[in-house]
Structure 1
């Protein structure tokens, strides 16, 4: 289905981001949809002076600042390239035109939203009820590619543990 989206022509812009370059900063409105052709991205929020990573994206993923996309209001999230990243960009208007053009495309959007909700529920369960070892095992089972695409320091932050703890868990 992502292929159908790519072939629809709604991704009218392509951009290259350098390592650590921002696609979006806190306080900005972002109603774009991004398709990652190559590279990796992190979405995070600042908690006092600490970054809290909430999501990653890498080659083949679609990424969006969902709160800003849906509300068209500023979001506190940052979206940053972890390494050199090539992205295709679609506007909200073009995307909505696409999803409203057929029943199948509307079902695709519903599927994306349902999947995001389920991912968020799993993420909340990880953070609320599991030990570091269990969080690591759950995320490894759910997203083994994450450990190939994303540096350990970011994964540790995402899992709410020290890089040393993550390293120990990976070895065991």
Structure 2
């Protein structure tokens, strides 16, 4: 059972989405220094979540069809975030406010358990990603992401995948060819 699909279906069945809107390619959903406490469903298209240091951008995560995304730090603590969320192509999104979402989650033990399981999986994925970046070769990182998220390579341009994998686009291209 896909817990995210189950959660999306429950939100949709209860008609809880606040609005649906379209972002054009390269348009920002969220910029650094802003507070965003909404949860988003990617209906079509794709987005990236990234931070910028003084030298370069660092892609943290992607969202594409049927993914839930958020500036999770801002969603949880209601403070400004250093994250940007940007459309990589024309993207249709639905949103639900934190207040409405938490009211829904707290209305049922089943929903609470689904949400907790999703958060646990997310934390484990982030830990695995961090370990990979720190200890794995570029080839190993590529193989793990390909195994874990094959759809990523169909939805996201290679230059952003390379950034996510902490390698140059040229290195990613060589790995994909070999």
TM-score band by shorter chain is over 0.9
What CA distance in whole angstroms lies between the structure 2 residues aligned with 1:39 and 1:127?
27
Corresponding residue to 1:127 among 119, 125, 133: 133
Residue 27 of structure 1 corresponds to 33
Scaled by the length of structure 2, the TM-score of the pair is 0.95
Residue 37 of structure 1 corresponds to 43
Q: Is 1:166 the counterpart of 2:172 in the alignment?
A: yes
- What secondary structure, in the 3-state scheme, does the structure 2 residue paired with 1:60 have? coil
Unaligned segments of structure 1, at least 5 residues: none
Give the paired residue count.
172
Runs ≥4 residues deviating over 4 A:
none
What CA distance in whole angstroms lies between the structure 1 residues aligned with 2:67 and 2:12?
12
Residue 55 of structure 2 corresponds to 49
Unaligned segments of structure 2, at least 5 residues: 1-5
Scaled by the length of structure 1, the TM-score of the pair is 0.98
Residue 113 of structure 2 corresponds to 107
> CA-to-partner distance for each residue in 1:45-103, whole Å, 9 max, x for gaps?
00113100000010000001110000000000000000000000000000001001111
What CA distance in whole angstroms lies between the structure 2 residues aligned with 1:17 and 1:98?
26
Computed over aligned residues only, the root mean square deviation of the Cα atoms, in angstroms, reads: 0.7
Corresponding residue to 1:68 among 64, 74, 93: 74
Q: Is the 8 A contact 1:10 1:91 kept in 2?
A: no
